[in-house]
Amino acid sequence: MKLSSEDLHELAELAIRAATEAGQMIARSRPQEIEHKEGGHSLSSQVVTEVDRQAEDLILRVLAPTFDRFELGLLSEETDDNGGRLIADYFWCIDPLDGTLPFIEGTPGYAVSIALVDQSGTPMIGVVYDPVEGALFHAVSGAGAFRNRAPWSIDSAAGGAELSVFTDRSFFALENHDEVVAALDEIARDLGLEGVRIHEPRGAVMNALGVLALPNACYFKFPKPTAGGGSLWDFAATACLFHEVGAIATNIHGDVLDLNRANSTFMNHQGVLFATCDIKARLAFLHSLP
């Protein structure tokens, strides 16, 4: 079933409602039960709270009428992947609470993320709600990006004269962490900047939004042989936002993100890069560091 522009805007409004309601519920909540689930090799992919599941239930109640009407598949973090996304022309890709560790710790860095992705892996709709700031971000393919319903673009005057690098906790666990930081500093100076600033770790979604707030910024994850590297639902909605503002959302090699990977939901096979400055070739050098 081919979706029209009118269909996409109708679906975007439902995703906005779902993300907002879930985000407002999260903002009123604190986790009471912390569980561990089967996931990747990082702690962030293994922890879940009752609030994650409550947010997912709320989102799915809002989106439920769309599955049959528009013949949509589903991939959501707290629901088993039934493979429907590989058959349907489009599927909802949902992270009901990205950044569960910051949420547990009571620090900023978590968000609700909802995307509509076509079977080829192209994000058609991206919606993010930040419960800490009460901020809404959304984009529809070909129709632009918006912050709190106002048109949104990269502010070339924002930020300082440094390369801002947004990270998650795995960055600080890299065996060659010091070498990577030194190489990033060299990249910054090649770009005519004064150096590199490493931001405090947070969830993947809020890392990407941090990048979009600055003209010289990036967030990346290297490929690795073990399961992890973030999941499809960590990157789909923000990739749509990045596409609509003309920023970089690719794999680590600068190729198209594989956002409907058939044999796994993890992105460790190709890594990710979100950036507002062109550092793709330079990151290839970073990845080659021993």
Average pLDDT over residues 188-217: 94
Average pLDDT over residues 180-204: 92
Q: Residue count of the chain, please give it.
A: 290
CA distance 58 to 265: 22
DSSP classification of residue 226: S
For position 10, what pLDDT does the model report? 98
| Pair of tokens at residue 247 | 């920023």
Q: Is the pLDDT of residue 155 over 90?
A: no
Rg of the chain over CA atoms, in angstroms?
18
* pLDDT tens by residue, 240-264: 999 999 999 999 888 999 999 999 9
Average pLDDT over residues 276-289: 70
Domains identified in the chain and CATH numbers: 5-151 (3.30.540.10), 163-287 (3.40.190.80)
pTM for the whole structure: 0.93
For position 278, what pLDDT does the model report? 79
Pairs from 50-54 (Cβ < 8 Å, separation ≥ 24): 51/25, 51/26, 51/97, 51/103, 52/77, 52/78, 52/96, 52/97, 52/100, 53/78, 53/96, 54/25, 54/29
* pLDDT tens by residue, 97-145: 999 999 999 999 999 999 999 999 999 999 999 999 999 999 999 999 9
Confidence grade of residue 56 (pLDDT, cut at 50, 70, 90):
very high
Confidence grade of residue 175 (pLDDT, cut at 50, 70, 90):
confident
